[in-house]
Amino acid sequence: MSSIALTALTQKVDSPAEITAAAVRLRQAVAEAEISPNDAINVFDAWASSLDAREFGDAPGIPFLRMWLRRGTLEPIIARELGPNGLHGGWNEYGQAKCKAFPVGVVGHWPAGNVEIQPILSMTCALLGGNAALVRIPSGLVDLTQRLMDKLVESDGEQILTRRIFMAGFDHNRRDLQEAMAQSVDGAMIWGGEEAVLQIRALPFPHWARVSVFGPRMSVAAMDAGAWGNPEQRDAWCLRIARDVWQFDQQACSSPQVLFLEKANGNSTAQFVAALRHAFEAENRAHPRQTIPGALTSAICLARASWLLKDTAHQAFFPQSPDWTLLFGSGSDIPQPTQGKTLTVLEVDDLYEPISNLDGNVQTLGLGIADPEKEKKLALLAGKKGVDRIVKLGRMHVFVPPWDGMDLIRPMVRMVRHVSSSE
């Protein structure tokens, strides 16, 4: 990290005092000026326009980040979470009372290291509520985060948002820095695996701190025979699936790890699997893998071999490289995820069977269903089984609240209720 030119927004820290001092500055910025969600969106919209695809190349998540920062994406979210007058920071009437959103203060962010744009996404949720953001940057995301923040600085000439941001780079093992950060915030947004979440939740947060946790989950996809069996729509469905798999290298909680295909009487899934294979090949040409960790390469090779050795009816399709893998078989149980663009495709007699087996660990269910009545029943069953997001295939990563069953902005604001004394 020390070799990277860091701005005032993004700094390597080495002492608790640096974090404490940064939090004091951030809290003062919130106290000195109130900003509305509209003020934040004006800056975000300009920021989105500055994220040129030619400059950022194939950096994961950049196309999605541009879409998230747009006014057209954020305004409906503000209206739903903060009320019809929330965009401009106004009061909303509820009978004889009025309610208005106020910031909680300084919100700390502990993003996971497996989604490259997550430090930015988490930060924007707090800023939309008028808060300041104190963000810990995972060590592997410093370079991309720095480049994105440089663009924000250019887009925020009046420092409406930048004076409310401090991004701290330090090793996750520095318990003293983690504690200093926790002690300095009024709210926290925590992302990551089970071990990381438990360690962060155990930090000494103030008793008043709001805490939102987005822990380890996984996601699955499902298609009925009417959808996958339609030759006119087959290629489009397969392209949607491939794109969901490719984004974030299948490491996000919203990444599909398994696709359940409903059997069709007398119809073979061979043509669909062939089309899916072609879609994977096309997506790989468009977005080739640049690097791959050795451990992931080993895991992919082991998954391929284990799948083929486990059952003679199993099939697998993959290139010589570890770029992508399709494992085909049958069954309603979710296999252990491999990630690295490894999708298991399982035939089932009835889609209700695998969804009935869900245990609350599934975050997103991506669907391709031709029968609307069947989809209604599947959605109701999935909701009862703990699924928080049920979306069309191709939209599994769309970062729109509720997320993990929770709002993204409202938890980090105080909804102040006012009943006039003259009433």
Q: Do residues 326 and 313 make contact, with C-beta atoms less than 8 angstroms apart? A: no
Percent of the chain with pLDDT over 70: 97
Instruction: Report, as an integer, the average pLDDT of 183-211.
Output: 96
H helices of 98-223, in order, are 118-128, 142-155, 175-183, 194-201
Instruction: Look at the alpha carbons of 62, 107, 19, 192 in this order and tell me if their dihedral is positive or negative.
Output: negative
> Is it the case that residue 397 has pLDDT exceeding 80?
yes
CA–CA dist 347, 261 (Å, integer): 5
CA–CA dist 204, 215 (Å, integer): 19
> Is it the case that residue 340 has pLDDT exceeding 70?
yes
Structural domains for the chain: 10-215+404-419 (3.40.605.10), 218-392 (3.40.309.10)
Per-residue pLDDT tens over the stretch 2-21: 333 345 688 999 999 999 99
Angle, vertex CA 173, rays to CA 8 and CA 247, nearest 5:
70
CA–CA dist 118, 138 (Å, integer): 10
pLDDT at position 115 is 87
> Is it the case that residue 1 has pLDDT exceeding 70?
no
> Is it the case that residue 179 has pLDDT exceeding 90?
yes
Per-residue pLDDT tens over the stretch 262-319: 998 877 899 999 999 999 999 999 989 888 999 999 999 999 999 999 999 999 999 9
Band of pLDDT at residue 56, cut at 50, 70 and 90: confident
Instruction: Report, as an integer, the average pLDDT of 374-392.
Output: 97
And the tokens for 33? 């000026």
CA–CA dist 31, 51 (Å, integer): 31
Per-residue pLDDT tens over the stretch 62-110: 888 999 999 999 999 999 999 999 999 999 999 999 999 999 999 999 9
Cβ-proximal residues to 33 (8 Å cutoff; 6+ apart), any chain: none
Cβ-proximal residues to 378 (8 Å cutoff; 6+ apart), any chain: 222, 351, 352, 355, 365, 367, 369
pLDDT at position 123 is 98
Which contacts (CB < 8 Å, 24+ apart) does range 155-162 have?
Answer: 155/43, 155/46, 155/47, 155/49, 155/50, 156/43, 156/46, 156/47, 160/35, 160/39, 160/40, 160/42, 160/43, 161/35, 161/40, 161/43, 161/127, 162/9
